[in-house]
Structure 1
Amino acid sequence: MENSMKRLAALLLGGLLLSQQAMAEPANPLIRLATTTSTEQSGLLGWLLPQFTKETGYQVQVLAAGTGQSLKMGENGDVDLVMTHAPSSEQKFVDAGFGIEPRHLMYNDFVLVGPADDPAGIKPLKDAAKALKALADKDAVFVSRGDESGTHVKEKALWQAAGITPAFKGYKSIGQGMGPTLTMTSELGGYTLTDRGTWLAYEGKLKLALLLEGDTRLFNPYRVILVNPKRWPKLNTEGARVLSDWLVSQHGQQLINSFTVNGKPLFVADADKPA
Structure 2
Amino acid sequence: MFKIKRAFAIMLIMLVALMAACSSSTGNDATKDEPKESGEVERTDIILATTTSTQDSGLLDVLIPMFEEQQPYNVKTVAVGTGQALEMGSRGEADALLVHAPDAEQELVDSEDVVNRQKIMYNDFIIVGPADDPAGIKDAAVAEALTKAFDAKATFVSRGDDSGTHKKELALWKEANLDPAENGSYVETGQGMGSSLQVAAEKKGYILTDRATYLAQKDNLGDFEIMVEGDESLLNIYHVMEVNAEKHEKVKKDGAKAFVEFMIAEDTKKTIADFGVEEYGEPLFFLFE
**TM-score, length-scaled by structure 2:** 0.84
SS in 2 for 1:117: coil
* Structure 2 partner of 1:157: 171
Asked if residue 269 in structure 1 is aligned to residue 287 in structure 2, the reply is yes
Report the Cα distance in structure 2 between the residues aligned to 1:119 and 1:82, rounded to whole angstroms: 39
* Structure 1 partner of 2:123: 108
Aligned-residue offset at 1:45:
0.1
* Structure 2 partner of 1:228: 244
Asked if residue 190 in structure 1 is aligned to residue 208 in structure 2, the reply is no
Report the Cα distance in structure 2 between the residues aligned to 1:29 and 1:55, rounded to whole angstroms: 13
Code of the aligned partner of 1:252: T
Code of the aligned partner of 1:45: L
Report the Cα distance in structure 2 between the residues aligned to 1:229 and 1:110, rounded to whole angstroms: 33
SS in 2 for 1:264: coil
* Structure 1 partner of 2:273: 257
Aligned-residue offset at 1:57:
2.9
* Structure 2 partner of 1:134: 148
* Structure 2 partner of 1:237: 253
**TM-score, length-scaled by structure 1:** 0.88
Report the Cα distance in structure 2 between the residues aligned to 1:215 and 1:82, rounded to whole angstroms: 27
Aligned-residue offset at 1:269:
2.2
Structure 1: segments with no counterpart, 5+ residues: 1-17
Report the Cα distance in structure 1 between the residues aligned to 2:67 and 2:246, rounded to whole angstroms: 26
Aligned-residue offset at 1:225:
1.1
Q: How many residues align?
A: 249
Asked if residue 214 in structure 1 is aligned to residue 235 in structure 2, the reply is no
* Structure 2 partner of 1:146: 160
* Structure 1 partner of 2:61: 46
CA contact (8 A) 2:96 2:259 kept: no
The match for 2:98 among 83, 86, 89 is 83
SS in 2 for 1:78: coil
Q: Percent identity?
A: 44
Report the Cα distance in structure 1 between the residues aligned to 2:56 and 2:69, rounded to whole angstroms: 22
Report the structure number with the largest CA radius of gyration.
Answer: 2
SS in 2 for 1:265: coil
Structure 2: segments with no counterpart, 5+ residues: 1-36
Report the Cα distance in structure 2 between the residues aligned to 1:259 and 1:35, rounded to whole angstroms: 18
Asked if residue 166 in structure 1 is aligned to residue 184 in structure 2, the reply is no
Code of the aligned partner of 2:221: L
SS in 1 for 2:190: coil
Runs of 4+ in 1 over 4 A off after TM superposition: none
Report the Cα distance in structure 2 between the residues aligned to 1:193 and 1:155, rounded to whole angstroms: 7
Report the RMSD for the aligned CA atoms in angstroms: 1.2
SS in 2 for 1:112: strand
Report the Cα distance in structure 1 between the residues aligned to 2:212 and 2:105, rounded to whole angstroms: 20
SS in 2 for 1:223: strand
Report the Cα distance in structure 2 between the residues aligned to 1:217 and 1:123, rounded to whole angstroms: 17
Q: Please give the per-residue CA displacement for 1:20-58, whole angstroms capped at 9, x wherever unaligned.
A: x35xx36x5211000000000100000111111112232
Aligned-residue offset at 1:170:
0.7
Aligned-residue offset at 1:144:
0.2
Q: Please give the per-residue CA displacement for 1:167-210, whole angstroms capped at 9, x wherever unaligned.
A: 20110112111011000000000000000010010011102111
* Structure 1 partner of 2:45: 30
* Structure 1 partner of 2:8: none
Code of the aligned partner of 1:43: G
CA contact (8 A) 2:139 2:229 kept: no
SS in 1 for 2:179: coil
SS in 1 for 2:180: coil
SS in 2 for 1:172: strand
CA separation of 1:176/1:121 partners in 2, compared to 1, >3 Å: closer, same or farther? same
CA contact (8 A) 2:49 2:85 kept: yes
Report the Cα distance in structure 2 between the residues aligned to 1:87 and 1:143, rounded to whole angstroms: 23
Report the Cα distance in structure 1 between the residues aligned to 2:145 and 2:234, rounded to whole angstroms: 13
Asked if residue 56 in structure 1 is aligned to residue 74 in structure 2, the reply is no
SS in 1 for 2:138: coil
Aligned-residue offset at 1:262:
2.7
Q: Please give the per-residue CA displacement for 1:113-171, whole angstroms capped at 9, x wherever unaligned.
A: 0000111101131x212211111011000000000100001001100000001120110
